[in-house]
């Protein structure tokens, strides 16, 4: 009569009144049920309208209830359900149950059909209750196909994922950001099937960056088959009422969520930014899951949707640095993410700094690359961390210090301890550039000449590009020799946009310096926006660390 957990699997020992081995969806309620008058033997539906399982179908489930109740006729109903193939595959009770169990025994002895019946200890039974996802009327109707086939399939998968996450229920979300528009044959088939089954997004849903610049790919020399299939994938999302945004920085849009909003975003940097900087709430959704959530408007109530899962598990104190530039934030984010690993950190030592949207973007993207945590807190800088104690649940974790050595090591890891070398391509905009970054780059390049052998490419969202064009920054930078791309981002860019002859790529992104070498097969180096602009003019990266990483500027 005990429970045991081994290798992530929990086993219970109880009293079996009929035997068998079954695997099925768990259906639970902490209330007894009369099978006569409470279950329709012709459909398997729970028709007791006062019961929490009302409307549920017992077929292909493992039913866990404390016991039967009410009419003695429940034994006959149980037998009929088994003979009709509409009953539960197994039953779990909290105490010995005579009426329903007799129906199983008679079906077994007379007709050779059965269902395992097991009685567990009360404490074990209550543990099982916690595994079941309580579904709303909308959720149940969706599973029954009332809201269409695409919604039915989406809800079925969401219910399984919710069970896997240990969620007790689903919640409404107000918006989604869809990271599933990255092209592959499988992702195209997935999107088209949902579209063709009548899928429509139930909540406002923006679309992440694509594999291509949708308006320019033909002029850029992209393979026709790739460009056309990417367009086909994008159109499937638009047909389901996705919004034309095509950016990996949805927090820059006018539709950005507010503190406390429950949302469903894909794209790792956006998830970290939303949870941490905006104070919204989203799971670090695997690609495709956020699409299913958008089709239903429902998400598993798990992870950082819950207050208790947003509490800091690690306290990291950043030692002070002087004269920092824009490279400080991605280096710090990557180093700090490596230290945090799976844990949500609360960060001190930065309280008197004033990081901009651009700084937080760079930090979040780098943190999301090296850590699997869904968020961070910065005391006095992020909305949920007015004080250290506020995000620690009353128990401040031991302090870990992050200083010159850790950030210097990270810098040299990014640059492979390189010395001065030639640069062929400057890669900017991972995540998509902000308007402020475009302005800063325009100021850095004003009145200067680009080196003839260096290509400079900036990626940004359409909305930011339009604003930068209105301000004259795009015209100025194009005159310098900068190429702008919208819709796509660096993690999807290949040849011929990356020149075939380009051997060394320089970036200011803590995300792209990590993924870029593997994605492109090129050598990489890293620097601040100012260093990237300088390399665009000289054709070389000096390999020297920035002033703030000189030990004299480490306090």
pLDDT in the model for residue 11: 83
Say how far apart CA 63 and CA 83 lie, in whole Å.
Answer: 17
DSSP structural state of residue 174? S
Range list of β-strands (E), 239-360:
264-265, 298-300, 314-318, 345-348
pLDDT in the model for residue 479: 98
pLDDT in tens, the chain (555 residues): 345 454 446 788 899 999 999 988 889 999 999 999 999 999 999 999 989 999 999 999 999 999 999 888 899 999 999 999 999 999 999 999 999 999 999 999 999 999 999 999 998 998 887 777 888 999 999 998 999 999 999 999 998 899 888 898 999 999 999 998 888 899 999 999 999 999 999 999 999 999 999 999 999 999 999 999 999 999 999 999 999 999 999 999 999 999 999 999 999 999 999 999 999 999 999 999 999 999 999 999 999 999 999 999 999 999 999 999 999 999 999 999 999 999 999 999 999 999 999 999 999 999 999 999 999 999 999 999 999 999 999 899 999 999 999 999 999 999 987 788 999 999 999 999 999 999 999 999 999 999 999 999 999 999 999 999 999 999 999 999 999 999 999 999 999 999 999 999 999 999 999 999 999 999 999 999 999 999 999 999 998 999 999 875 655
Say how far apart CA 197 and CA 527 lie, in whole Å.
Answer: 48
pLDDT in the model for residue 9: 62
> What are the residues whose beta carbons fall under 8 Å from the beta carbon of 555, sequence distance 6 or more?
319, 320, 321, 322
**Three-state secondary-structure class, residue 15:** strand
Residue carrying structure tokens 């068998």 = 20
Say how far apart CA 484 and CA 117 lie, in whole Å.
Answer: 66
- What string of DSSP letters covers 16-54? EEE------EEEE-SS-B-STTTB-TTT-BB--TTSTTT
CATH of 417-549, one of 2.40.30.130, 3.40.50.1950, 3.30.499.10, 3.10.105.10: 3.30.499.10
Domain chopping of the chain, boundaries: 3-129, 137-306, 308-412, 417-549
Residue 71 annotated to the active site: yes
**Three-state secondary-structure class, residue 448:** coil
pLDDT in the model for residue 182: 82
Say how far apart CA 293 and CA 180 lie, in whole Å.
Answer: 12
Q: How many helices (H) and strands (E) does the chain have?
A: 17, 23
pLDDT in the model for residue 177: 98
Same fold? 137-306, 417-549:
yes
**Three-state secondary-structure class, residue 323:** coil
Token representation of residue 555: 């306090």
- Fold of the domain built from segment(s) 3-129: Glucose Oxidase; domain 1 (3.50.30)
Judge contact between 205 and 175, C-beta under 8 A.
yes
pLDDT digits 0-9 by tens, 186-234? 999 999 999 999 999 999 999 999 999 999 999 999 999 999 999 999 9
pLDDT in the model for residue 338: 96
CATH architecture, range 137-306: 2-Layer Sandwich (3.30)
Among 123, 125, 66, CA closest to 100: 66
pLDDT in the model for residue 25: 86
pLDDT in the model for residue 506: 98
**Three-state secondary-structure class, residue 425:** strand
**Catalytic-role residue among 71, 187, 401, 408:** 71
């Amino acid at each position: 009569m005990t429970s045991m957990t081994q290798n992530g699997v929990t086993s219970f020992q109880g009293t079996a009144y009929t035997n068998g081995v079954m695997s099925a969806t768990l259906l639970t309620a902490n209330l007894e049920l009369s099978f006569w008058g409470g279950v329709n033997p012709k459909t398997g539906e729970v028709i007791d309208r006062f019961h929490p399982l009302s409307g549920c179908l017992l077929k292909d489930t493992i039913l866990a209830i404390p016991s039967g109740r009410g009419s003695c006729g429940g034994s006959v109903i149980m037998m009929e359900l088994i003979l009709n193939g509409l009953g539960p595959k197994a039953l779990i009770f909290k105490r010995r149950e005579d009426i329903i169990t007799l129906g199983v025994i008679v079906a077994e002895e007379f007709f050779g059909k059965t269902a395992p019946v097991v009685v567990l200890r009360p404490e074990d039974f209550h543990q099982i209750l916690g595994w079941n996802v309580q579904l709303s009327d909308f959720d149940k109707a969706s599973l029954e196909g009332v809201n269409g086939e695409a919604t039915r399939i989406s809800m079925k998968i969401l219910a399984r994922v919710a069970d896997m996450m240990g969620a007790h229920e689903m919640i409404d979300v107000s918006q989604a950001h869809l990271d599933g528009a990255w092209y592959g044959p499988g992702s195209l088939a997935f999107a088209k099937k949902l579209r063709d089954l009548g899928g429509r997004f139930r909540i406002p849903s923006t679309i992440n960056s694509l594999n291509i610049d949708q308006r320019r790919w033909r002029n850029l020399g992209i393979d026709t088959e790739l460009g056309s299939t990417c367009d086909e994938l994008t159109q499937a999302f638009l047909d389901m009422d996705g919004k034309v945004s095509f950016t990996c920085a949805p927090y820059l849009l006018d539709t950005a969520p507010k503190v406390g909003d429950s949302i469903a975003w894909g794209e790792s940097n956006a998830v970290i930014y939303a949870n941490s900087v905006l104070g919204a709430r989203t799971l670090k959704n695997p690609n495709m899951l956020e699409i299913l959530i958008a089709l239903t408007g429902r998400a598993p109530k798990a992870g950082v949707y819950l207050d208790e899962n947003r509490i800091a598990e690690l306290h990291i104190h950043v030692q002070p640095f002087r004269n920092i530039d824009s490279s400080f934030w991605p280096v710090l984010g990557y180093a700090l993410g490596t230290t945090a690993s799976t844990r949500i950190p609360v960060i001190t030592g930065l309280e008197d700094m004033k990081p901009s949207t651009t700084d937080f973007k760079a930090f979040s993207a780098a943190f999301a690359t090296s850590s699997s945590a869904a968020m961070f807190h910065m005391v006095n800088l992020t909305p949920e961390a007015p004080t250290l104690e506020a995000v620690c649940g009353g128990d401040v974790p031991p302090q870990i210090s992050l200083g010159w050595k850790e950030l210097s090591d990270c810098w040299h890891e990014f640059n492979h301890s390189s010395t001065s070398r030639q640069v062929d391509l400057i890669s900017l905009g991972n995540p998509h550039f902000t308007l402020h970054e475009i302005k800063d780059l325009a100021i850095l390049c004003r009145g200067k000449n680009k080196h003839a052998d260096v290509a400079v490419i900036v990626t940004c969202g359409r909305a930011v590009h339009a604003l930068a064009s209105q301000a004259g920054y795009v015209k100025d930078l194009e005159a310098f020799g900068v190429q702008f791309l919208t819709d796509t981002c660096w993690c999807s860019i290949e040849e011929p946009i990356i020149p075939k002859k380009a051997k060394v790529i320089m970036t200011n992104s803590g995300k792209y310096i990590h993924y870029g070498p593997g994605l492109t097969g090129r050598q990489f180096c890293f620097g601040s926006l100012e260093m990237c602009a300088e390399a665009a003019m000289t054709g070389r990266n000096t390999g020297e660390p920035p002033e703030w990483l000189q030990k004299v500027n480490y306090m």
